[in-house]
Amino acid sequence: MVLVPVSTSFNTGYRLDTTKSNQGRQDKGAKPTPPEEHWGAWTLGGEAPTLVVRVGLTVRGDAINGMSYTFRDFYMKDIGGGTVSDGVLKVPADREVWFVELTRK
pLDDT (tens digit per residue) in 21-30: 776 566 667 6
Shared domain check, 88 and 58: yes
- Please say whether the beta carbons of 69 and 82 come within 8 A: yes
Are 79 and 103 within one domain? yes
When pLDDT is cut at 50, 70 and 90, the band that residue 17 belongs to is confident
The model carries a pTM of: 0.63
Nearest to 93 by CA among 71, 76, 75: 71
Cis peptide before 92 (omega within 30 of 0): no
Domain hosting 23: range is 11-48
Closest of 81, 90, 82, 10 to residue 56, by C-alpha: 90
- The rounded percent of the chain whose pLDDT value lies above 90 is 40
Q: Would you call 26 helix, strand, or coil by DSSP?
A: helix
pLDDT per residue over 72-102, tens digit each? Answer: 988 899 999 999 999 999 999 988 888 899 9
Residue 82 is assigned to a structural domain of this protein? yes
Q: Is residue 88 part of a domain?
A: yes
pLDDT tier at 50, thresholds 50, 70, 90: confident
Residues 31 and 66 in one domain: no
2 occurs within a structural domain: no
**38 and 61 belong to one structural domain:** no
Task: Say whether both 58 and 104 belong to one domain.
Answer: yes
The more confident residue out of 100 and 7 is 100
Name the band, by pLDDT with cuts 50, 70 and 90, for residue 60.
very high
